[in-house]
Amino acid sequence: MDDAPTLDQLPVGAEGTVLAVRCERAIARRLMEMGVLPGTRITVLRIAPLGDPILLRLRSYSLSIRRREAAGIVLSDVREPVGAQALAEQAPS
């Protein structure tokens, strides 16, 4: 599980399944209350120009989190979209 990617490493359009939430206890609990639970599928919708915050799609809603929070979310079954670079270039600034 140490080699598993974290949410902050995904490009726009990529998706993965939450394997574990390894944040500070209070932050982990808050993320889990918002639906970031093991087994949840998450898609990266947007990343702000300076990299923070990250807009996600999970459980039929959108959620913005800080990059440092995303770094604590370990993923499995990561899928990058075909043409991920083209998708990132199309996103409005």
Please, which pLDDT band fits residue 63 given cuts at 50, 70 and 90?
Answer: very high
Give the number of domains in the chain.
Answer: 1
Q: How far apart are CA 83 and CA 35, in angstroms?
A: 28
* Confidence at residue 51, expressed as pLDDT on a 0 to 100 scale: 83
Domain assignment of residue 23, given as a range: 7-78
For residue 88, tell me if it sits in a domain.
no
* CATH number of residue 65's parent domain: 2.30.30.90
For residue 89, tell me if it sits in a domain.
no
pLDDT tens track for 19-58? 999 999 999 999 999 999 999 999 999 999 988 899 999 9
